[in-house]
Each structure stands twice: as structure tokens, then as C-alpha cells.
Structure 1
């Protein structure tokens, strides 16, 4: 299995990307890596080229570049060449920590959508706190589409189910719809239509509406929503976690010697809390609905997260999740067309 890697994307690229790839190479003997980047910057960082092939890419798409224009104009960039390798069958998946918009654009325009899927959804894995039988859940869309139709959210539920089965190994994932209440008649007209459609589908395990305050309590294995709401919810969770940790630290530092002594005794507890909220341990965000896995990690990604993300991609490839989705939407083309018409 080969992964095309954008070595130049991210705040710490190419150093941390190369380190992470070498860690993943050592951890997964059946993975090979095509490393796309500027040769003079990447080559000196490689300690061992076993199952790693450097592919020169003269151009770099910067974080501030306009995504569509950059993908179209910078044909020799690491992002474009890595995505092209997947399109042409040279690689099986595409990874980047670079410009999010450019990665999504390259995924859509170069790798391509699965036939029958209107809009791919960006998927992330988040932690579940203090629930012994569930450590995480999946949420999508978290930002690929600001404008989403009810039909798109229904398709997210199907795609999320396959992802949870493949990567999280949940046999019958519970699907929930993010809403402003748990009752079936909650939400606007669009949410009520989505709820009723999902409730009538026999091939998913729909558990109804889920409130945002219950997300980290494990209300569902897969939570679906529109891209605008999903992105806002994700950032609210991130911001709350960071603010709480800063608040606790500030109170400790202002609490005098007694507070600091108490904090030193509780340091292992604080570390466990921090680790529990660190969703980068689960890998990156996957653009589901494409012909092959396209995975994006945060710009501040370092080597350990790169390695974790490669493990995530390994699961996607080993279980052939993309092929399963292709088969589903091919077999259910008529049903999807009817649903699309109903949910106009």
C-alpha cells in the first residue's frame, strides 16, 4: 500500500513530516511512501530511505494561497503532484498537513468524487470522556461545505457508517443527527426532513437527534451535520478545552505555594485530562466520498501525529473502505436519486 505525502505542507514541514513518515514506515511494514517536496530541503532529512521514495516537487502551495487558483496554477506543487499520483494509480491515498482549502480542492478536482455522491464530507474523530465501552466518535461534515442540503447530510450518515466500521471497528455504528434538541420534531424544516429520512432507512442504525452538550458523552458513534455547524461545533469544543486548561493553570499559579504544591501532586491527572482531549491521537480529517482516501491534519502537526494519521490511513486501505462506498452508491443509485428528489 502506497501513500502519497505532501512533505512541504504544515508549520513544521518538511522536518516533522519526514520524521513522522519514518516512524510510520517502521511501525507499518506493508506501507510505502512517495514523498513529494523540494529535493534540496527534504533529502538531507531522510535518515533511512527504506520504502520511502522522494519525488521532486518544485513548487509549494502556501497556507495563504487562494486554494482553487493555487491548485490550477501550481501544477508542480507537492499537493497537486501527490493528489495526481493517487488519480493515476501510482499511490493509494493522499496525506497533507498543508493548506486545507487546497487539499480539499485537489481531492475534489484531481482524485475525484465517487459517482452518486453529491458533496464529500470532511470527517474528524473526537474523544468520548469517561465511557468505558467507547473512546471516540466520528463527526461530519466539519468544514468541507458551508452550504449543505438535507440530501448531503443523509449521504454523510452512510459514509460515516462505513468509516466507523473500517477505522473504529464498530460493527453497527449508532448514527445521530446534531440538532438543538433530542425530540423528533426539533429543529428547522431541513433538520426534521433529515431526521425522518434517516429514521426510515433500514441499512443504518439511527438513534435520533443529538444535542451538542452530549457529544463528548458518547451519544452516538457517528454524528452528522452540515459543514457550517460542524466546523463551528468543532472549534467550540477545541476552544473550550484550551480555555479550561488555561483557567486551571492560571488559578494554580495565583494560588500561592499551597496551590502549586497541590498542583504538583495532581500533575498526572492534568496530563491524563490533556491527553483525553487531544483528538490528534486519532489521526487527521478524512474527506469522505472520494475515490481514494484523502487525509488532512492540522497545520501544527508534528511527527507523532503524522505517524498516527498514517495508521488511520492504513486502516482505510486495509479494509478497502472507499471500494465499499463505491459499491454501495452504485448498488443504491436508484434509491439515492429518489431520496434526492424527495429532499429538494
Structure 2
């Protein structure tokens, strides 16, 4: 299976349901001829959509799931229905070795709870973290974590997040020694909480890891390309992420309003169309879709609930790259280096 990534897809998750998830799988299949899929959900609905995409004829199996997790379901409710829902069965396929990774656009809290309960955390990881790729002005995207899985984190958690984020960057972006920074209210060494300063001291001492720790970064520099991995607790990370998304929507809406305000503005829009198209492409969350639960004994990728076909395909592509580059092994090796260094210190 190592040479043929098998992706379990929760076909019932997300705003678009089976139509968007299966069309996204077809697009991902066209990009990567090695991909194979197992589609979990209502079999009749899935087969009706599959008929529209011949490229999946010999590359997708269907596994019927009588139920689906809704956006209103609480994590505790979802866990009790894990064995009968498309989301739960997709995660179970990873646990059983029938799939290398699972992709869902469904309820984030339910997905996290079921993934953690079913797959468990890796040895040496205290808490899993939610990581995503964000656009920057630099040469590559930014890996940021945690984005909401853990509202409170101690220094050990932050160091683990740094190790996992760096491994993710190496796998997804091909950066051999990612530049890692901690999100803080200032760049000076004395700024921030005790946990942040302690984590910074520990990371400076871990010079043998496959990362470059470059201190603190403030939130207004996140998109400047000055770091490859930014680490924070889930509370601050989620606020930062939502602020960035809101700012992107504000900019695009403001431009739309400005360009439609008069005849002269409309002419200006036509002249500047190539530049505005580039801006819209760069800010479109579908082009950076696919958040990952790092630290579990298996790969689970969360697609945005409102993702379009392109976004779903990108999320599947993230899962495939992490499988091909053996993310779990890389994280485990770096954690082993930390433990070995602690023993000899």
C-alpha cells in the first residue's frame, strides 16, 4: 500500500456533500494517478455521483454508512455513533490499516474527538494539534499550529508542536530545515508568558533537530514570509487564523465595492484585472485547503466545510503528500532525538 496511497473519504461531510467530495476526488485522481479511494456514506448517493466521473471507475470503492455527522452534533454524540457514520468509518479504516489517511469536510470538533479516541496520540506526544498551510509573501506557505485543538498549552506542548510542525513542513513543502518561531506579543526574549519563554529556551537548546528556531514573531508579520512554521496555543492560533481570514474577506470586498462605485472605477478594474485576479487567487482559502491533526497514530485531514471542488482536491493532495513522505516516522524520529538529548544532558 506504500506505493499506492489509499485515501478514506467521508463523502457526506461538508456543505456540498457527495457531489463536491467526489468531484474533488476525481480532480485529485487526475493530478495523481497513484491515488485510490474508499468513499464512505450513503451508497446510492455516492454511486450516482461516481457515474459522472469515469476516472474513478477502477480507483474508488464504496462503503455504505447509514448515518452522517451533522454540524450540530456535539463531539460526545458523534463518538457514540462512530461505528455507523461516514466520518467514524473513514477514521476506522485508517486505524485498521485499510487506508493510509482519512479526509473529511465535516464537523471539526467531532472529527477531532473521534480521531483522537480511535487513533490515539503518538508515543511522546502529550496532545495532538491542528495545523494548516497559510499564504505568505515568501517563497512558500506557512505551517501554523495549533489552530484550535488545545486552548491551553504548557512549554512541553509548544515544543512538541514545533517538532510536529517542522516535520509537516518538510513533508508538505520540502523544506529540509524549516524556520520555526513562536507567536508572541513581541520579539524580545523577555516578552510573553512563562510558558512561551520556557519553550523558546528549550528549542534553542535542541540544535540537533531538523529545524531552525528563530525566536518570537508578532501576528502582524505572519504573512511576510519570515517563518516556515509558527507555533502557538490553540486559543491564540484560532483567533489569529480567524482574523487573517476576516481581513482577506475585508480586502476583497473593499476592492469589489471600490471597483463598482463608478464608471471610471469599472474601467480601472478592467485595466487592473490581472492583478486583482492574482490577489483573489492568493487569498482564496480553497488554494490552501487541508488542515491536519498532527500527533495521532494516523493521518486525518480536515477540509473546510465550504470548500469547493478545487479545495477538496487540495486537501486530498495534502493527505497524499503526508502519506508518501511518511509524516509519522519523521515526527517519531525527531521526538526520539529529543528524548536521547534529555538523557545525555
Coarse TM-score class (shorter-chain normalised): over 0.9
Q: What are the equivalent positions in structure 2 for 1:159-198 lying under 5 Å apart? A: 159-198=164-203
Correspondence for 2:120 among 92, 102, 112: 112
Within the candidate set 272, 290, 296, 1:290 is matched to 296
**Pair 1:278-2:280 in alignment:** no
Q: Is this contact kept in 1: 2:41–2:86, CA < 8 A? A: yes
Using the TM superposition, give the Cα deviation of residue 326 of structure 1 relative to its aligned residue in structure 2, in angstroms. 2.5
Q: CA deviation at 1:337?
A: 9.3
Which range is displaced more, 184-193 or 29-38?
184-193
Shift of 1:283: 3.2
1:7-26 matches, cutoff 5 A = 7-26=11-30
3-state SS of 2:17 partner: coil
Of 220, 231, 254, the match for 1:224: 231
Query: For 1:34, what is the secondary structure of its paired residue?
Result: strand
**Following superposition of structure 1 onto structure 2, how do residues 203-214 of structure 1 map, counting pairs within 5 Å?**
203=209, 204-214=211-221
TM-score by length of 1: 0.93
Cα contact 1:283–1:310 (8 A) shared by 2: no
**Alignment CA distance shift 1:41-1:263 (3 Å):** same
- Between stretches 67-76 and 152-161, larger displacement belongs to 67-76
Cα 1:160–1:112, aligned 2, differ >3 Å: closer, same or farther? same
Match of 2:268 among 241, 246, 262: 262
Deviation at 1:252, TM superposition (A): 2.5
Report the counterpart of residue 342 of structure 1 in structure 2. Answer: none
- Which residue, 83, 94, 102 being the options, matches 1:75? 83
Q: Compared with structure 1, are the counterparts of its residues 328 and 128 closer, same or farther at alpha carbon in structure 2 (3 Å cutoff)?
A: same
SS at match of 1:125: strand
What is the aligned partner in structure 2 of residue 243 from structure 1?
A: 250
For structure 1, list consecutive stretches of 5 or more residues without a partner in the other structure. Answer: 340-344
Q: Say which is worse superposed, 320-329 or 62-71, in terms of deviation.
A: 320-329
Give the Cα separation in 2 of the matches to 1:331 and 1:253.
Answer: 57
Task: Report the Cα distance in structure 2 between the residues aligned to 1:57 and 1:118, rounded to whole angstroms.
Answer: 32
Answer whether contact 2:69 2:107 (CA < 8 A) is retained: yes
Q: Which residue number in structure 2 is paired with residue 60 of structure 1?
A: 68
Deviation at 1:267, TM superposition (A): 1.7
Which residue of structure 2 aligns with residue 147 of structure 1? 152
Distance 1:75 1:263 in 2: 53
Give, in whole Å, the separation in 2 of the partners of 1:60 and 1:304: 23
Question: How far apart are residue 302 of structure 1 and its match?
Answer: 1.6
C-alpha separation in 1, matches of 2:269 and 2:67:
48
**Deviation, structure 1 residue 135:** 2.5
Matches of 2:153 and 2:106 in 1, distance apart? 24
Provide the C-alpha distance between the structure 2 equivalents of 1:220 and 1:328, rounded to a whole number of angstroms. 20
Check conservation: 1:281, 1:305, Cα contact below 8 A: yes
Q: Which residue of 2 aligns with 1:234?
A: 241
Distance in 2 between residues matched to 1:338 and 1:36, nearest whole Å = 48
- What displacement does 1:17 show? 0.3
Distance 2:99 2:194 in 1: 43
What stretches of structure 1 move > 3 A for 4+ residues in a row? 330-339
Q: CA offsets, 1:85-137, max 9 Å, x none? A: 110111110100000011111210112211110111100101112x3xx1311
> Do the aligned residues in 2 keep the contact of 1:93 with 1:293 (CA within 8 Å)?
yes
CA-atom RMSD in angstroms: 1.7
CA distance in 1, matches of 2:285, 2:215: 25
